Chain A
């Protein structure tokens, strides 16, 4: 069995695939102190041919597990290229960052990531949803029928929150303010995407890909339809498992 371990900041995702490349097992455990030990225990007794680690904690666990390490960008690219033949661009909105990855013949050749702050990330979406009284899962759908275009101009999550508050003070409706938040993230992501060639298939990935309004707004801006990656949370671990299978053969 080939294992991919994606040590994220909140959760560690573990995926195994067989020799045929099919997913056998996918699990999620919390990322805590001494995570190398936790993952080691999780895997003990299981059949292991090869392991690849990815995610922000990849270097933390590699020694204990004897794992090879790849970046999360490489991992996402592998997983997406595997699921979507002919994909040339991945737009990913994660919890802590957002990125655009360009693929050529299934290999990623270039990428861009957002700056080190929360602007244009899932975290920003979450802060705004909380402020407006929505859960993150319903946020997009709840704002889908907005009837007024408002503007959130700040790229900084902290300043954007104060913009949000002043819109609330003007008695703008929650769905319209919410739509403006979506539009600001969509514009940031599509600006990043349009620095690359949009020739082939575009795939929307990461937790944000589940948000229909965001998807619609990005599609309008880049003037392309996007396909949505399934199980965005485990894509990194899945890509690592694919790499594990490849590197052992």
Chain B
């Protein structure tokens, strides 16, 4: 809970303490409604529940220690920002608040109404001074993965220091050359801020730390999705852990996630499932779920289905590939390997982006999923447009497909629920018919 000491810390970060206190209470209440109402949760979720309760207090306190040690605090909105380099120099690279409808009205004073809710929410948190992560960040690292983002940075830079990393739109040779330069410049910038050289060994360590985190997330993925008859954890709980992976200290997070996975492994052995045996198991495709955006998961899992994967940036797209350091002998080779991994990310900002479709088909096959929901945040044009190609390919493969477009407002929950329930019925009908 929020103590006087926390309030003091918030004041030192120029936070609107009254507003953030209210938001924290609301976030804790919402978490209780969505998560604590589930039965038979793994006990190792306690860590993640506690983390959520202390999201704007305990973890922000820790970040101030990092700052005191003159290490950089870098806020991001995208998995293309090389967190490995920040981690390597002892700094913290984390995702910023961007998943709440509460900050959107404020953002709409400066931004158009009809752009992505994630960007509006993030911008609103800055204007309201209501996110400890944003307020603590030495700078925000933006990128050029969509039109709305790159133009928002120009406005957000009036309120907070921003650097923009240029992510190309194609993956040909000259684009990759540009991209490599961008990573190098990023590294130089982080060196400058921390007053410390990013040596081969340090960078390698940083990469390994993040690789280990991704390995742990991969382990969670296997445990929740690869046993068709046993689902030892709900999709909601797995999503919460994944959302926390973007703000927690990576080494501790990795350890805690492995503890959760140990418990899940035992559950698999003992055939302990949190869902009935025959519930439809679904994969979500598309745009990310920034906390506390739990709307779709909550609706799906209270309508008699289970979510076994998110093919999203907060999800599979983030942890699917690691950076292979085994053969690298110089810093430059490490950077090449970083680029290799980053270029394997199949974000819809690239054209063409065919690898994504093949990957999705494989994901469905490996997990024997019963269907997919293609989730698009309202006004996310790249993912929304790409859904046509994905749906065509999946329909051809006979995979039940439902497209849902939604923002952060709670008002469409009823309509989404109707669609989800009908989708589940159609899956059952297909099995019968």
Contact = CB atoms under 8 A, between A and B. Distances in A.
Interface stretch (A16-24, A71-79, A130-138): A71-79
Contact of A116 (B400, B415, B425): B415
A156 B418 CA distance: 22
Contact of B418 (A73, A104, A110): A73
Contacts of B43: none
Contacts, number: 44
A56 B418 contact: yes
Given A104-B433, A116-B412, A74 B425 contact: yes
Interface in A120-162: none
A109 B433 contact: yes
A72 B400 CA distance: 19
B412 A74 contact: no
A73 B422 contact: yes
A71 B418 contact: yes
B410 interface: no
Contact of B433 (A56, A72, A97, A107): A107
Contacts of A30: none
Contact of B429 (A56, A72, A107): A107
- Size class of the contact patch on chain B: 10 to 19
Interface string B408-433: 00001011001101110110011011
A75 to B, nearest CB: 10
A105 B422 contact: no
A74 B426 CA distance: 8
B414 A110 contact: no
B381 to A, nearest CB: 15
A107 B432 contact: yes
B112 to A, nearest CB: 16
Nearest to A102: B426
A115 B404 CA distance: 9
Given A105-B433, A116-B412, A111 B422 contact: yes
A161 to B, nearest CB: 19
B426 A109 contact: yes
A83 interface: no
Contact of B425 (A56, A71, A106): A71
A57 to B, nearest CB: 10
Contacts of A104: 433
A154 to B, nearest CB: 14
A115 B426 contact: no
A110 to B, nearest CB: 6
B419 A113 contact: yes
A70 interface: yes
Residue among B412, B418, B430 with the most chain A CB within 10 A? Answer: B418
Contact of A108 (B412, B415, B426): B426
B354 to A, nearest CB: 22
B430 A109 contact: yes
Interface string A50-85: 000000100000000000011111100000000000
B405 interface: yes
A189 to B, nearest CB: 17
Contacts of B429: 107-109
Nearest to A57: B414
A72 B423 CA distance: 11
Nearest to A56: B414
A56 B414 CA distance: 7
Nearest to B391: A195
Contacts of B405: 115
Interface in B390-404: 400
Contacts of A109: 426, 429-430, 433
Given A115-B405, A116-B412, A108 B419 contact: no
Contacts of A108: 422, 425-426, 429
Nearest to B419: A113
Contacts of A110: 400, 426
A72 B421 CA distance: 9
Nearest to B415: A116
Interface string A76-106: 0000000000000000000001000000111
14 contacts: A70-B421, A71-B422, A73-B418, A73-B426, A74-B422, A104-B433, A107-B429, A107-B430, A108-B426, A109-B430, A110-B400, A110-B426, A113-B419, A115-B405
Given A56-B414, A116-B415, 6 more contacts: A73-B418, A73-B425, A97-B415, A106-B433, A111-B426, A115-B405
Interface of B: 400, 405, 412, 414-415, 418-419, 421-423, 425-426, 429-430, 432-433
Interface of A: 56, 69-74, 97, 104-111, 113, 115-116
Closest 3 CB pairs of A and B: A73-B422, A107-B429, A71-B422
